[in-house]
């Protein structure tokens, strides 16, 4: 099992529904602590040898927020999708040999135990990539995880690209993954953008792995709220309430 681990945090988005244009979404405070700090703390809990934050919108504020943290930065100047975002870390990780975990900068409730379980599944199955999924009561807006006839991972279909029967699937992609680094950076440049959004989706690298005969694993997160992102002020308040409740 590789002992090398890098963590990539996606934090380049604008967060237009947060009703604040003076700071990027990931710098909105939760109980006095910036949202992005919760995710950096998740990365630090894994004792990663590299932590890379992908920045874009108002990146100087994110950089200043994390100036005391052991974080490297990659720039995504155009918002062309999650695959394009991770591609911007190539220079920092092209010589890295190990696992790369991809986290979302707006998902603060993810537990260290969940990340440990994700890594355990990845290693125990000798997978080239492992996807963290969850079962959603209302999967609207999330990418759906499609399974094969023998219940193995097939692919992810984004909500806007999903057929009517696929929209009924309630297993969703959390946007959190672990990859074999060498394979990730060899295949990621091949991902296209033939979809409703015209974006380069990170999960579209997974079929490229499978085409090479590599296996993709799935770890289901036990608690859906752990993987919920924050896109609105109401969602921010809900997360604050959950953190306060957990501290009682």
CA-based torsion, 128, 176, 163, 13: positive or negative: negative
What's the average model confidence in pLDDT over 193-197?
A: 88
HSE of 79 in the Cβ direction (CA atoms, 13 Å)?
A: 10
Active site residues: 17
Domain span including residue 133: 5-247
Task: Enumerate residues 6+ apart whose C-beta is below 8 A from 145.
Answer: 131, 133, 153, 156, 169, 171, 172, 173, 218
The predicted structure's pLDDT at residue 162: 93
Backbone φ and ψ of 58, nearest 5°: 50, 45
Interval 15-37: pLDDT, tens:
767 767 889 999 999 999 999 99
Rounded to whole angstroms, the Cα distance separating 103 from 123 reads: 18
Q: What number of other Cβ atoms are within 10 A of residue 54's Cβ?
A: 25
Residues contacting 228, CB < 8 A, separation 6+: 107, 109, 235, 239
pLDDT in tens, 151-188: 889 999 999 999 999 999 999 999 999 999 999 999 99
How many domains would you assign to the chain?
1
Nearest to 162 by CA among 215, 191, 201, 114: 201
Model pLDDT for residues 210-238, shown as the tens digit of each residue: 999 999 999 999 899 999 999 898 999 99
What is residue 21's predicted lDDT score, i.e. its pLDDT?
80
Indicate which CATH number applies to the domain containing 83: 3.90.550.10
pTM equals: 0.94
d(CA 111, CA 109): 6
CA-CA distance, 80 to 93, in Å (whole number)? 20
């Amino acid at each position: 099992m590789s002992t090398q681990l890098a963590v990539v945090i996606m934090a380049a988005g604008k967060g237009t529904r947060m009703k604040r244009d003076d700071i990027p979404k990931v710098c909105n405070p939760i109980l006095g602590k910036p949202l992005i700090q919760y995710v950096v703390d998740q990365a630090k809990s894994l004792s990663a040898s590299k932590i890379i934050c992908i920045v874009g919108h108002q990146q100087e504020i994110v950089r200043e927020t994390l100036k005391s943290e052991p974080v490297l930065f990659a720039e995504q100047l155009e918002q062309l999708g999650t695959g394009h975002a991770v591609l911007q870390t190539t220079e920092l990780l092209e010589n890295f040999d190990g696992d790369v975990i991809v986290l979302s900068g707006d998902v603060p409730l993810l537990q260290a135990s969940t990340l440990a379980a994700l890594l355990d599944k990845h290693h125990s199955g000798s997978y080239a990539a492992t996807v963290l999924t969850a079962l959603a009561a209302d999967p609207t807006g999330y990418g759906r995880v499609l399974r094969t006839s023998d219940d193995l991972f097939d692919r992810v279909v984004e909500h806007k690209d999903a057929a009517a029967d696929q929209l009924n699937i309630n297993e969703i992609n959390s946007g959190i993954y672990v990859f074999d680094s060498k394979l990730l950076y060899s295949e990621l440049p091949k991902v296209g953008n033939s979809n409703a959004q015209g974006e380069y989706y990170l999960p579209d690298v997974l079929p490229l792995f499978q085409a090479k005969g590599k296996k993709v694993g799935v770890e289901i997160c036990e608690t859906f709220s752990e993987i919920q992102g924050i896109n609105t002020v109401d969602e921010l308040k809900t997360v604050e309430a959950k953190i306060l409740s957990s501290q009682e």
